[in-house]
Structure 1
């Protein structure tokens, strides 16, 4: 075992023997005015805490989830006014469990649901569809010409004759499978949403909208006013059931789950307290570690509110990451001070010694974290950019809370005498090859040729194997429904019901055809639209397609007594004009008012990544082959089109993000160590962790999407802390002339032990996320647990092994 030499500075028991003018300028400024510094920190915490409580908003946004500059999204946003029904919408199904829809009581209930949704804030009322909206119409050909009207009879009163008329109208309208279930036991209400509430001018409050759906619809219709039964998450046992899907409902369910997220955060804090206390047996230093880390969270949330940002269900996990990083740095300071106090040094001097040893390494690690998080700003998805800003702010404040406040606070309260004596005994036992010394002996073997070679070869094999598995990593959703929630969640059960009972899904992929005014009625344009629809229909995942072509065919044939020979696109422009005029009444969503834009809408059976990729390939190839200055085929609108565009951005960003993160971390390591060899020693274990994490995602069936994209970058940010602390101490002793073995032993004794402690503490804090009702939080918990533990093992095993080959001589 190598020689441990921790006391490189003299043991000073009396403050009169210490020169307060020693140390750098920052150390003198902080510690020589520490009372004023603590008061200032307390005042800032109070102000930012008040801002966090009074001004911080939970404000999810549909637009923030989509890449604003992506060409497909740009096309959609530029033409959004003409595509009112192909953006953000909610679908509500009212099911009759004890009969069918031709029940006067059911129809009255459906009317009440329709009226409540119609009057709800943020609803685009002109484009809402249900059996009770006049825009849902039927048309038929008679000897006298066309006849039609609303599906719901104007004179409906609930009489048997009215019910029979409704039954005929539904059949004639052809809405079975779209608005009416195939088994006639339920009907659907399609509710498009505006970007902003017209009454307030603000963005839609999705949480409030979701609560309205629960309290005014589910509570009253499905649970007969029993909100407690609804809160259980089970379905009601009454006659009617309400089923809801859509972005607004998904976000509302995620926000509802955040209460449990807070409980998991509290559990992580309690777990951290327990583990750190078991290690230190000092309650005051344990509480200071936790307190300084929580102070960072308060500062972060307060600054986010002060700068006018909001949090959302996807960035709500960032405060825990800030807490985790804060615990890592504060524990290092606590450990160093405890060791010096155990040797007899005065608590103020011990605090200043630890500040000198670890401040530069800590600042460098935090700056590397901040830059790594800031790299996420390059991803053209606003919700990830907001996450990057939130995380970068949190990391920046850790410089004040964990690197400055922690040692200053410990300079006042110190550590318990028994705890300091216990720490010194542990160090002495380790030096005598007892206790932790046996573990240090084992780790020290990785500085030898035999063990280093074995560790590096094993890591290389794991890296190659993990890389081969990671090649199967998919972009986007891998399952139907909402992967952010559990498969047995109410939302996904509702989605499964709708998918199985309705022929047309809610996954719409639309290609926009843009022409000059009145150009969409051009014969060539309609023929090309028909060809595009046909090509899309050949894909097995496309259920059907809808466009103006369908309406023109039907109306043209109907104008000639249903002659099947005329169920085609006619060259006669007058016939096309007449067909479009008729279509504008029954299906106004098929083209805009001046007929310069019409969508070809494909109904997809799901929104899995593979499905979207293949449909995009078909549509994109057709667009490139047939677009001209007079007639442009533009991708993409509809929920599936927007998700396909998002997947494209995520795919492009996935590798470039990691490249930029590692480039930033590499530059900071190079700046800190002044050695490219040391930079490689710090970086290679992190690269292995990233590769294995992607392989784990493949094994767990997790796709890369907006919710999961940042997790690997965040894991790198936390992992680099371990390497910087361990290597900075190791290189310090190597540059003093120690051998690699002795230098590593000193690094392990001073910082490595806390690396293990922090890794276990953080892993224990997030592993309980695996039981969260929010699936993407559960997935993040498993991935972060893996990264915390593997980064710890990588730092303790691979750093000495790689150092044997790259840093064996004096650095």
Structure 2
């Protein structure tokens, strides 16, 4: 069947090329119109308990797209007209930012921060600094004292040293466009930033806005990587076909993938450009293998009009099976990620599977067909010849595989894998370091985040809900208020939780105000009747939306908002475990607790999904790989043999992630899944060439030598070129891309080592039947099979 496919493609080459390029032109139009953006809702596992709580209450208690802006002075305090005017200008300007939630803008200059006072005229609640700035020094001093008296402001919104204040704003998840919000907020801050006040800004819209901000740099790195690939291929292969055809294969696969995904209405996530480069590297690798095999065949054929066509047909026929198996293995291993309930991973899976599948067209078929058109294929384009040096490396590989050193390679590989596996048990799920792992520690965003966390209770938030939809007024009850208060004291014992806020913090202010500000009464009352009265008084002087941060309109559900100083996976897991411990140890007679909303609540859900599914996903990907190899080679042993390089590359890569503190999160999971297929691609070419030589009558020694000098040459070329190209990503301003580039380089290095040293040694030692056939009919070293047994 493979021979017929190869014969048809070469015989009808004009129609094949014409059809493929026509489709490429059509799809290129769609590829140019694909959306490049981050959609927050795609990151949420919608069926998870925490996400359902988040979706239900985010409009009331705050979503996960909160942006925090800090105004910080170096001398004096913030109670200066010039400083507060900047706060007021930004607060008012935020109303005009795209997708802003008007009811979630909170600052000294908003109506949300109020002071409750009691007088002979009754209870009154008035904004601290709205609508105007303090008119004189006396009014400024009065504002300062009002802040100092209010623990809901002094600490949460004004720093303890009075040198900084916060503005917080939330956005509507369905409407937010991170790049737009990022630019509009930076523009707004730029209008008031004269250098006299340090202004810092953090939040997911800002974080992913930085990703979009660095998109031009990312595209420059892509072009630089392509340039390095072009130069290296030209130097090593010495032919224009060795440069142009692999790059053409990568370009065609990219156009097809992006065009098809645009037709499927799937957008392109900026961070997954690393995955895109990884897949494109596979296109280059497959194409180089075919070009290299084509060149090998040219040396065996006489120069005539059919030389190029025959060499191309042989290359297509002989490499069709390992090439297709590599493509299918990559696609199948990536498809496992689709089992995750996270839409972003599911869409990325579709993009990746489509992209990988296009390699069938762009590399496995198009490259040999185009090679068949070359009229005078002999000769080189420059005098630099690296072939002798690479052959010496391959001679060393042959010597290792056929000498007793092979046992040292196999034994050493086993020890290294076992050690790496045990070390990888410490791999973190979720973010492994403070700040955002997407950006470098010294980036403006991470510096701003550290500065805000140092002065305030914490940038990242989680809300936990207590209530019952069927019990209006439940939050006014003494049991609910006391439960909230006890819960806050319990959870604040965790060092990473900087503080908490609930309606149970507001009522003590009313209680103290009724008693002329006596701090002895700055607590909840003992009796339910008193607390209910305090709640009624607060409600009577509140405007619509004032209580929305703490309870819903019916007082059926109330929130406890927790402020976190970091979003590390361990911090989040500890907090969730402590919350569940408190709930289990303090049962309620009325109402129930619901976990968990806000950014940290959503991240807790994502981390739990990854933690519960990662081991299963890896195991399933390995199983898929084993089944594919078993079906293709009709041997269960094939599945076991080809899992060896996969296990080696993945264990060493996971060990590296553990060592460098790279957590397994929503961004790194796709790279890890694709790496399972990546770890075995090179091994397919080596093993299949050994099988081909054995079938042609070669001895095991001769087969291994031929395989390494033919397919092995392609492995050395592609691995060295792609390793150098991917290392360029270390120059990226995005830490995630830099680390994933280094991770790809390690994967490629280990995969190449496994293919050149481990696989030939393993095959030579164990002589699997799917490669060598009937073991009883194998000749001794130096002998060939009789012609009667070459069927």
> Which piece of structure 1 moves more, 617-626 or 744-753?
617-626
State the match for 1:310 in structure 2. 267
State the match for 1:381 in structure 2. 342
Structure 1 residues 154 and 444: CA distance shift in structure 2, 3 A: closer
**Distance in 2 between the 1:575 and 1:308 partners?**
54
**Distance in 1 between the 2:64 and 2:322 partners?**
49
**Distance in 2 between the 1:777 and 1:154 partners?**
46
Tell me, what secondary structure is at the counterpart of 1:590? Answer: coil
How far did 1:472 drift? 1.4
Residues 311-357 of structure 1: per-residue CA shift (max 9 Å, x gap): 12222223212210100110011111112123235111111111110
**Distance in 1 between the 2:165 and 2:559 partners?**
25
**Distance in 2 between the 1:691 and 1:802 partners?**
18
| Counterpart check, 1:215 vs 2:161 | no
State the match for 2:404 in structure 1. 450
How far did 1:538 drift? 2.5
| Counterpart check, 1:765 vs 2:722 | no
State the match for 1:695 in structure 2. 655
- 1:663 corresponds, among 600, 620, 623, to 623
Q: 8 Å contact 2:525–2:531 — kept in the other structure?
A: no
How far did 1:100 drift? 3.5
**Distance in 2 between the 1:185 and 1:382 partners?**
43
Q: 8 Å contact 2:2–2:320 — kept in the other structure?
A: no
Structure 1 residues 777 and 365: CA distance shift in structure 2, 3 A: same
> Aligned residues, how many?
759
| Counterpart check, 1:297 vs 2:254 | yes
**Distance in 2 between the 1:304 and 1:556 partners?**
60
Q: 8 Å contact 2:398–2:708 — kept in the other structure?
A: no
How far did 1:435 drift? 5.7
Q: 8 Å contact 2:38–2:269 — kept in the other structure?
A: yes
How far did 1:61 drift? 1.6
State the match for 1:8 in structure 2. none
State the match for 1:775 in structure 2. 735
State the match for 2:320 in structure 1. 359
State the match for 2:782 in structure 1. none
State the match for 1:484 in structure 2. 438
Structure 1 residues 366 and 265: CA distance shift in structure 2, 3 A: same
Tell me, what secondary structure is at the counterpart of 2:289? Answer: helix
| Counterpart check, 1:38 vs 2:17 | yes
How far did 1:256 drift? 1.1
Q: 8 Å contact 1:627–1:633 — kept in the other structure?
A: no
| Counterpart check, 1:512 vs 2:473 | no
State the match for 1:162 in structure 2. 139
**Distance in 1 between the 2:59 and 2:134 partners?**
37
How far did 1:567 drift? 3.0
Q: 8 Å contact 1:221–1:240 — kept in the other structure?
A: no
Residues 683-704 of structure 1: per-residue CA shift (max 9 Å, x gap): 1121011111111111112111
How far did 1:97 drift? 4.8
State the match for 1:529 in structure 2. 484
Structure 1 residues 778 and 187: CA distance shift in structure 2, 3 A: same
Q: 8 Å contact 1:341–1:420 — kept in the other structure?
A: no
- 1:369 corresponds, among 330, 336, 348, to 330
> Which piece of structure 1 moves more, 621-630 or 260-269?
621-630
| Counterpart check, 1:134 vs 2:134 | no
Structure 1 residues 170 and 378: CA distance shift in structure 2, 3 A: same
Q: 8 Å contact 2:72–2:163 — kept in the other structure?
A: yes
State the match for 1:19 in structure 2. none
State the match for 1:395 in structure 2. 356
Tell me, what secondary structure is at the counterpart of 2:14? Answer: helix
What are structure 1's unaligned runs of at least 5 residues?
Answer: 1-21, 197-202, 225-237, 428-433
Q: 8 Å contact 2:288–2:718 — kept in the other structure?
A: yes
Q: 8 Å contact 1:447–1:803 — kept in the other structure?
A: no
Residues 726-773 of structure 1: per-residue CA shift (max 9 Å, x gap): 111112223444332221112112211101111111111111111211
Alignment of 1:6-405 (within 5 A): 24-53=3-32, 55-83=33-61, 85-97=62-74, 100-142=77-119, 146-152=123-129, 154=131, 156=133, 158-174=135-151, 175-196=153-174, 203-218=175-190, 220-222=191-193, 238-344=195-301, 346-405=307-366
Tell me, what secondary structure is at the counterpart of 1:598? Answer: strand
- 2:454 corresponds, among 500, 508, 515, to 500
Structure 1 residues 439 and 578: CA distance shift in structure 2, 3 A: closer
How far did 1:413 drift? 2.4
Tell me, what secondary structure is at the counterpart of 2:373? Answer: helix
What are structure 2's unaligned runs of at least 5 residues?
Answer: 774-791
State the match for 1:544 in structure 2. 499
How far did 1:368 drift? 1.0
State the match for 2:778 in structure 1. none
Q: 8 Å contact 2:72–2:165 — kept in the other structure?
A: yes
**Distance in 1 between the 2:749 and 2:560 partners?**
50
Q: 8 Å contact 1:507–1:640 — kept in the other structure?
A: yes
Residues 39-72 of structure 1: per-residue CA shift (max 9 Å, x gap): 222221112111121x211121222223222221
**TM-score with structure 2 length normalisation?**
0.91
Tell me, what secondary structure is at the counterpart of 2:67? Answer: strand
Q: 8 Å contact 1:129–1:189 — kept in the other structure?
A: yes
Q: 8 Å contact 2:158–2:164 — kept in the other structure?
A: yes
Tell me, what secondary structure is at the counterpart of 2:71? Answer: strand
Q: 8 Å contact 2:400–2:406 — kept in the other structure?
A: yes
Q: 8 Å contact 1:92–1:188 — kept in the other structure?
A: yes
**Distance in 1 between the 2:2 and 2:156 partners?**
75
Q: 8 Å contact 2:278–2:744 — kept in the other structure?
A: no
**Distance in 1 between the 2:188 and 2:489 partners?**
43
How far did 1:653 drift? 2.3
Tell me, what secondary structure is at the counterpart of 2:666? Answer: coil
Q: 8 Å contact 1:447–1:740 — kept in the other structure?
A: no
**Distance in 1 between the 2:271 and 2:399 partners?**
43
| Counterpart check, 1:572 vs 2:528 | yes
Structure 1 residues 538 and 111: CA distance shift in structure 2, 3 A: closer
Structure 1 residues 105 and 730: CA distance shift in structure 2, 3 A: same
> Which piece of structure 1 moves more, 142-151 or 250-259?
142-151
Q: 8 Å contact 1:513–1:632 — kept in the other structure?
A: yes
Residues 479-535 of structure 1: per-residue CA shift (max 9 Å, x gap): 222121011111111112212222x11222322112222222222222322322222
**TM-score with structure 1 length normalisation?**
0.89
Structure 1 residues 153 and 308: CA distance shift in structure 2, 3 A: closer
Residues 84-137 of structure 1: per-residue CA shift (max 9 Å, x gap): x24321111233456532222222222221222112111101121011111211
How far did 1:592 drift? 0.5
**Distance in 1 between the 2:265 and 2:375 partners?**
39
State the match for 1:472 in structure 2. 426
How far did 1:652 drift? 1.6
Residues 573-609 of structure 1: per-residue CA shift (max 9 Å, x gap): 4641542550683543111001111112222332222
Residues 208-253 of structure 1: per-residue CA shift (max 9 Å, x gap): 11111223322x332x6xxxxxxxxxxxxx2233211000000000
